[in-house]
Structure 1
Amino acid sequence: MTITDRPQAGWIVMHLTGELYYGTVELFWDHLQALLASGLRRIALELSALTFCDSSGMACFIRAHRAIRPAGGQLILLRPTVYLQRRLTIAGLDAFVPSVQELSGPEGPTEPEALAGPGVPA
C-alpha cells in the first residue's frame, strides 16, 4: 500500500492506494499518527484506489475516528468503491464515519449521506 497526502478545501487528504489489510495497517496507523502529532485534525481518507480492505483495515477506520474525535477533529471516507461502501454499511461503520464523493470548504463535506450504489442504502 502507498499513502500520499495533499491539502484540499481545509482538509488533509490521505490517498490510499493498494490493499489495506493486517499486513499494512501499521503503515496506515503510523502515517495517521504522524499527521495527528503535527496538529492536523480534519482528515479525509481517499479510498477510490483502495483495491482491498479486510476487517483489520476497517477496524483502522474506527480506531482513526476514535483518535480524531476527542481532539475536536473530523474523519471522512472520500470516494470509497461501491464494494467497500457496501461492506462499511453492512458492518455499521457508516454510522460512525461518513462517506462522501466530494469535499467542500472548511465547514465540512458536501454530501452528508453515505455513497449509494446498487443494493447500498443511502
Structure 2
Amino acid sequence: MGALVRISIAEAPAGEATVVKLAGELGVDTAAELAAAIEDLLARPTHRIVIDLALLGFCDSMGLSTFLDAHRRCEAEGGYLALAAPSPFMSRLLDVVGLLRQVPAYATVASACAGGKEGRLA
C-alpha cells in the first residue's frame, strides 16, 4: 500500500475559486477521498474549484478518472474545475491520456484561479 494522499482545502471568498491542495499519492486506495471532498464542495454555493497538483507525487488511472468526473460534475452544476501546477511528469501524463483536452490545466494556481487562456497548458 502506498502513501496516502493529503487533501487540504483553502476556503475562498465569495466569487473566487476554492483551492484543493493534493500531496502524496492519488490512486485506487485514495481517489474516493478526493471524490468525497469535491462532493462536499459542490454542496456549497461556490462551484469554482482549482486542484493544486504541485505536491502530488503519484497518480494512477483511478486518480485521473476522479479529475475527469469532478470536472464533469462541476460543469453540470454551472461551475468550473481546473488543474494547476502539475510537475513535468504529471503534465506529460495528463497530455498522453488526453485529459488536457477535456479538463483545463494551468501552469500555476494563480492562473488557474483566473481562468482564461493565460498560463493554460496545451
TM-score range, shorter chain: 0.7 to 0.9
Matched, 1:51 2:57: yes
CA distance in 1, matches of 2:93, 2:8: 24
Show the 5 A alignment for 1:1-122.
Answer: 1-7=5-11, 10-102=16-108, 103-104=110-111, 108=115, 111=118, 113-114=120-121, 122=122
Identity %: 33
CA distance in 2, matches of 1:50, 1:13: 14
TM-score, L = length of structure 1: 0.85
* Residue 3 of structure 1, CA deviation: 0.7
CA distance in 1, matches of 2:46, 2:19: 11
Aligned residues: 115
Coordinate RMSD, CA, aligned:
2.0
CA distance in 2, matches of 1:96, 1:84: 15
